Copies of this chain bind each other. A is one copy, B any other.
Amino acid sequence: MAEIAELAAAVREFSRERDWEQFHDPKSLVLALVGEVGELAELLQWVPADEVVERFAAPDRRARVGEELADVLVYLVCLSDVLGVDLGAAARAKLASSHARFPADDVRGVAPHKP
């Protein structure tokens, strides 16, 4: 089984064992995801933009930010599972459509901007 589907199955089993599926409606899961994104943001917020990579290169700091990234992924996988979305396939489809939408020769070196 693919890695993301395995993660989804592990999260589902974890929730089922604890009878926590009752809390996992999509809106609650988006809020939980937002909570974890917030913790990630707090970890980086006051570090100067050009020092973040170096600051988090030390093993303990890398492990720390890895935990926050993992928390975001776990809720994202759980939310996708509850919504019946194959997250890995959706990400591959998105990348494929981005290749078509942003031809390399047209956008090289130019950040795509929002209206």
Contact = CB atoms under 8 A, between A and B. Distances in A.
Interface of A: 2-4, 7, 10-11, 14, 17-20, 22-23, 25-28, 30-50, 52-53, 56-57, 62, 65-67, 69-74, 76-77, 79-80, 82-88, 90-95, 98-99, 102, 104, 107-109, 111-114
B88 A3 contact: yes
| Copies of this chain, whole number | 4
Given A34-B34, A43-B114, A107-B18, A49 B76 contact: no
A11 B52 CA distance: 20
- List 10 tightest A-B contacts by C-beta distance, closest first: A38-B38, A46-B111, A35-B42, A3-B3, A70-B94, A70-B90, A49-B49, A66-B90, A31-B45, A34-B41
A52 B26 contact: yes
Given A18-B104, A27-B28, A94 B76 contact: no
